Structure 1
Amino acid sequence: MKTLTLGKTGLTVSELCLGTMTWGTQNTESEGHAQMDMALEAGVTFWDTAEMYPVNPVRAETAGRTEEIIGTWFAARGGRDRVVLATKVAGKGPILRPGEVTTGATMRTAVEASLKRLQTDYIDLYQLHWPNRAHYHFRQMWRYQPPKLDRAAETANMTDILSTAQALVTEGKIRAIGLSNETVWGAARWLHLADTLGLPRMATVQNEYSLLCRQFDTDWAELSVIEDMPLLAFSPLATGLLSGKYAGDVIPEGSRRSLNPDLSGRVTAQVFPAVAAYLGVAARHGLDPCQMAIAFTRTRPFPTIPIIGATTLEQLRTNIGAAGVTLSSEVLEDIAETHRAYPAPY
């Protein structure tokens, strides 16, 4: 397993990141522990979670359970310093702190609660799960209306969050701060304020990215490279669509689709022809489709670390195996042609 420097943080991370969001719903505590054991043995030392996990569905009564499972693993196994751990504060929404935007105060409260659940003294990368303002993620791009902002209020809120991040870094409770489900304007504004005020820079962005979701490829790619802000690519298998297990519009028992039939808007009339085309690329070149999809994210011209998730150890073993896959120029050409045929299937 290769290791990388995570942007400008000075942190060294594995080239794959372990996703955890099913632990506590689709996965039991013991299954989560087994996944962490397998990941660590394979050299996957970068792990990502969030205060609102588990998902499928998100519920107030289960929020924080995934962090608790990670915490019991640390308590049982020790060696917190073997892992680079990322988590997130939830934004405005109906589940956690209903109706409240993220502020410096809510972030501090969330950090303290996460530290307790994780049974650790520090978080390596602390992320804002989504912006306070309207954005185009989660399939909202089809109806996106740029927000009419009170610029002074937005600046004050961002400054408050960055100032709190600085205090939390000084206290040793977090080491770096990052974004998730953010826009290019938002990231640029965060960076400008940090540079102007001498506050912590947003180090990374965790946005959706896969063969089926390529929104990051233009303006975001430019900012990512120039500012050395790596993409932590979530759903590199498009919530399992690219594995082929839903081909023919089936819903396997126990799968994410059995809990979320349209996969949060990803199941459309266009998606299955696109999936079939990518499965065909993998078959023609003798590749496992999951490994091809994950390996593809590591070929991008901007710094990318895919977040791999699984509900079984067999799936996790396959996904970790993507680290050993190098895609040939012929495969990449086939993928490029397929992307042009199916540019935005959901």
Structure 2
Amino acid sequence: MQYRQLGNSPLNVSTLCLGTMTWGEQNTQQQAFEQLDYALDQGINFIDTAELYPVPPKAETYSKTESIIGDWIKQRNNRDKFILATKVTGPGDWVNYMRQGPRLDRENILAAADASLSRLNTDYIDLYQVHWPERQTNFFGQLNYPPPSEEQAVSIEETLAALNELVESGKVRHIGISNETPWGAMRYLQLAEKRGMAKAVSIQNPYNLLNRTFEIGLAEFAHRENLGLLAYSPMAFGALSGKYLHGAKPANARLTLFSRFARYSNPQAIKATEKYVEIAQRHKLDPAQMALAFVSSRPFVASNIIGATSMDQLKANINSINLALADAVLEEIESVHTEQPNPAP
């Protein structure tokens, strides 16, 4: 395994981070324990979760993933062996079953952190992240900026002050942002410097062969400000494995089970996926490993968040760390990207 410093923090995180969003929905607790044990044995020291998980989010399963991780920590008594990240949920009508409608104000953030600490059976969270912004902006695949008409969002300053309070209390070691824009990232860092508050050390945004929009406005910002990218969806919901091509519907696969995950299924994305899979096959590479290796190779990526619903998938994903893409492969990837840039933002 390889390790990288997470932003300006003293944390050295594994280049591959274990994602957990299927635990409690597609994966049982026993399967989650098996994944956790194996990942740590392979040198992964970074686990990412959220109070919202598992996905798709719903009232019946909300917070179940954190509870599974907490049970594992209690049974293994190994909290000092890994770096743990979780997230506080932003607002949205589709999550109103949480705290009567979650907000990013002080009351909600402090309550969410305490609940996560309890479920996770830990006294501290290494990295506490804002899952998505309070304000109206373009995230979750929306490219066009929608100017808010009558916005009444909690300010970033109030959100940051609450996060800073958690850091000062010792409940949280470092803070991060997620699904953020260049303006939002700038504002968090600007306010932290101006007010002497905790500075974000990471940004968790989507990044994969079908969606490289992070490179347009955020890559330089992340590089120059030392804000490490935690890349999520590096395989585009599994689409870049090629398993959904030609109308295939693999049993128990995410896009087979949940039609709402259509972000990477438009005609342009399918066409680009076909070309990426062809590149992998031509060079005798596993398409999924090629997709993961590309993300891990980017200099602004601090950690690449992998997920799996089976041990075979997890083992193959972890093995991607040993794959160094040849210049010829990278050139062909760039050729497809130039021809079909960001077909599924």
1:247-266 map, 5 Å: 247-261=245-259, 263-266=261-264
Q: CA deviation at 1:270?
A: 1.5
Kept in 1: contact 2:295–2:301 (CA 8 A): no
Q: Following the alignment from structure 1 to structure 2, what is the Cα–Cα distance between the partners of residues 265 and 218? A: 19
Q: CA deviation at 1:125?
A: 0.2
Does 1:120 pair with 2:122?
Answer: yes
Q: Following the alignment from structure 1 to structure 2, what is the Cα–Cα distance between the partners of residues 249 and 139? A: 23
Which residue of the partner structure matches residue 53 of structure 2? 53
- Equivalent of residue 104 in structure 1, options 106, 122, 147: 106
1:304-323 map, 5 Å: 304-323=302-321
Q: CA deviation at 1:287?
A: 1.2
| Total equivalences in the alignment | 341
> Structure 2, unaligned stretches of length 5 or more?
none
Q: Following the alignment from structure 1 to structure 2, what is the Cα–Cα distance between the partners of residues 242 and 293? A: 7
Which residue of the partner structure matches residue 24 of structure 2? 24
214-223 vs 123-132, greater mean Cα deviation: 214-223
Three-state SS of the structure 2 residue aligned to 1:226 is helix
Does 1:199 pair with 2:197?
Answer: yes
Q: CA deviation at 1:221?
A: 0.7
- Equivalent of residue 294 in structure 1, options 292, 296, 304: 292
**TM-score normalised to the size of structure 1?**
0.95
**TM-score normalised to the size of structure 2?**
0.95
Which residue of the partner structure matches residue 165 of structure 1? 163
Give the superposed CA RMSD.
1.5
Three-state SS of the structure 1 residue aligned to 2:247 is coil
Three-state SS of the structure 2 residue aligned to 1:47 is strand
252-261 vs 58-67, greater mean Cα deviation: 252-261
> Structure 1, unaligned stretches of length 5 or more?
none
Q: CA deviation at 1:286?
A: 1.5
When residues 327 and 31 of structure 1 are mapped into structure 2, their CA distance, relative to the original with a 3 A threshold, is: same
Identity %: 45
239-248 vs 281-290, greater mean Cα deviation: 281-290
Kept in 2: contact 1:224–1:231 (CA 8 A): yes
Which residue of the partner structure matches residue 131 of structure 1? 133
Which residue of the partner structure matches residue 208 of structure 1? 206
For 2:135, the aligned partner's letter is R
Q: Following the alignment from structure 2 to structure 1, what is the Cα–Cα distance between the partners of residues 260 and 101? A: 26
Deviations 1:103-135 (A, max 9, x none): 122111000000010011110000000000122
299-308 vs 121-130, greater mean Cα deviation: 299-308
Q: Following the alignment from structure 1 to structure 2, what is the Cα–Cα distance between the partners of residues 92 and 59? A: 14
254-263 vs 114-123, greater mean Cα deviation: 254-263
Deviations 1:160-196 (A, max 9, x none): 2222222211221100010010100001011110000
Q: Following the alignment from structure 1 to structure 2, what is the Cα–Cα distance between the partners of residues 86 and 148? A: 34
Which residue of the partner structure matches residue 72 of structure 2? 73
Q: CA deviation at 1:343?
A: 1.0
